[in-house]
Structure 1
Amino acid sequence: MFRRRRREQPEQAAAEAAVQQPQDIRESGPWDADEPHPEADRVDLGGMRVNIGSGFDVQIAVAGDQPIGVVVIQGDSALQLHAFAAPKRGGLWEEVRTKLAASVKEAGGAVETTEGPFGPELVGTIPAEGGAQPVRYVGIDGPRWFLRAVINGKAAVDAAAAGPFETVIRDVVVVRGEEPMAPEEPILLRIPGDRHAAPGTQEAGLDPFTRGPEITETR
């Protein structure tokens, strides 16, 4: 009897360890909604969940009547976040990076590829009112999605100013969904707390942030 128990104990311990062992969580995102990721007080925008602390102004970028992106502003710098569908094979950022570089050049700007904290990115200047404006294009390939982050202003060239924006990028959770989508099709968002109202409306008392910025809209 004792010998039989000794044979069973390692098997039981292994089964218990398998149940108790936590799933591996990457230290840094952006994350896919279906993978393990740290809990945080993120704003649920439907296709994207964003963790934004105090000290930022936040706007929703709208195309027509549909929210498609987030604009995070601090001082004279801004971060734009847009999520897009991508093919299962992934690797959309390399293709998009080439298109962006050509588009910037055509518009009279200049960018070059450099290695950043998220991998290859484009850094340079784009034409703007009052002169050329510094810009960084960051791209992250996920499972069937692609996240594009554009940093404008001082944070595009100053590491200290860029830090808070990079933290926002690292904590984004992308909600791709299961519906069929064409590559580079925007993953649509929604205004927090209002699943059905048109973007031109705002519920009285709507404040999706605690001690932080409020959602506004920009077109």
Structure 2
Amino acid sequence: MGLFGFGKKKKHQDEAVADQTEDTTETTDADSAADEQTEPAYPTEAVTEYEGRGEQYGPWDTNDEDVPDYDDYLDLGAYFLPFLQGIELRIKANRSTQTILGSTITYGSSSLEIEAFAAPKTLGLWDDVRADLMEANKDATEEAGVFGTELKLPVSLKGGKTLNTRIVGVDGPRWMLRGIFSGKAASDPDDPETQALNKFFADIVVERGEEPLAPRDLIPMHPPIAPAQRKAMQEAADGETEGKEHLKDIPNKPTGPFDSDQQVEVKTTLSRGPMFSEVR
């Protein structure tokens, strides 16, 4: 899941290319303004209901009509992470099984923990999760935020220190994306770190996949795959099937993204690029 997403574009970007082939001799200010409006955005005012997800705002689903071009995003399976200069990426995994559970982005003195959960087909999940967190944490409070109603939750640390966190949740088609902000991003809505991480969260593209998952199950993830790696894998896959089109219709053909040998290869050849630094 998510391994061969390379080459997916916004629908309006494809249409723009088609229009450009018809007339490439003239560029107007109106065209430039239209291009600027296609950039992913998010509300900057606190609201109790987050409206417009998948149409005006992210986090996005890979099947949204206006999903942004995520060719240059980092692929983690359950979601694609956008570029943000100066961030550090830490992968969260189960120590015993090595199953990847989520990721944490550090930016300046702030951080953002990201997890993607399966959700029911017809109902959102965030309201129920938020209610459970409120019941389990007597110090938690609800507030309006840029992604709708969010939680402010102080967490006690060793040594008597307290870490203030801000927990947001956005419902998508059969998924919920949860973000836990800390540092300045949890306490100062006007700080540049807060604004940068808010936009980062809104620009994430989620890939739910078709496998059956119970509500609140984590959507399966895999080790990070950089854009160049994903492109190379796509080209290799295309090369393997070149001249073998007659094999595509074999009954009961395996549909998994990798065999075990390929999985080992991805893990051992994972490279670090200028966009992300992996911290273990």
1:31-110 correspondence to structure 2 within 5 Å:
31-36=60-65, 37-40=67-70, 41-63=72-94, 64-105=97-138, 110=139
Q: Deviations over 1:164-190 (max 9, x none)?
A: 111111011111011111000000111
Report the 3-state secondary structure (helix = DSSP H, G, I; strand = E; otherwise coil) of the residue aligned with 1:192.
Answer: coil
Normalised TM-score (structure 2): 0.62
Question: Which residue identity is paired with 1:121?
Answer: E
Residue 149 (structure 1) aligned with residue 179 (structure 2): yes
Q: Distance in 2 between matches of 1:101 and 1:184?
A: 17
Deviations 1:70-106 (A, max 9, x none): 100122221000000000122210100011123333x
- Residues of 2 paired with 1:197 and 1:205: CA distance? 10
Provide the rounded CA distance (Å) in 2 between the counterparts of 1:33 and 1:45.
13
CA-based RMSD: 2.3
Q: What is the TM-score of this pair, normalised by structure 1?
A: 0.78
Tell me how far apart the structure 2 counterparts of residues 166 and 49 of structure 1 sit (CA, whole Å).
Answer: 16
Which structure 1 segments of 5+ residues have no match?
A: 1-18
1:206 aligned partner: 271
SS of corresponding position for 1:101 = helix
Q: Which has the higher helix share?
A: 2
Q: Which has the larger radius of gyration?
A: 1
Greater strand fraction, Structure 1 or Structure 2: 1
Is contact 1:104–1:126 with CA below 8 Å preserved after alignment? no
In structure 2, relative to structure 1, the CA distance for the partners of 1:205 and 1:188 (3 Å cut) is closer
Relative to structure 1, the CA distance from residue 203 to residue 92 in structure 2 (aligned partners, 3 Å threshold; closer, same or farther) is same
CA deviation map 1:176-205 (0-9, x unaligned) = 01111100000011112396239xx95356
Question: Which secondary structure state, in structure 2, belongs to the residue aligned with residue 29 of structure 1?
Answer: coil
Moved over 4 A (4+): none
Partner of 1:121: 150
Q: Aligned to 2:140, what secondary structure does the other structure show?
A: strand
Structure of greater relative contact order (alpha carbons < 8 Å, 6+ residues apart): 1
Could you tell me which of 47, 55, 74 is aligned with 1:26?
55
SS in 1 for 2:275: coil
How many angstroms does 1:133 deviate by? 1.1
Structure 2: how far apart are the matches of 1:120 and 1:147?
Answer: 14
Separation in 1 of the partners of 2:213 and 2:153? 31
1:46·1:189 contact (CA, 8 Å) conserved in 2? yes
123-132 or 84-93, which moves further after superposition? 123-132
Q: Extract unaligned runs of 5+ from structure 2.
A: 1-17, 20-53, 230-257
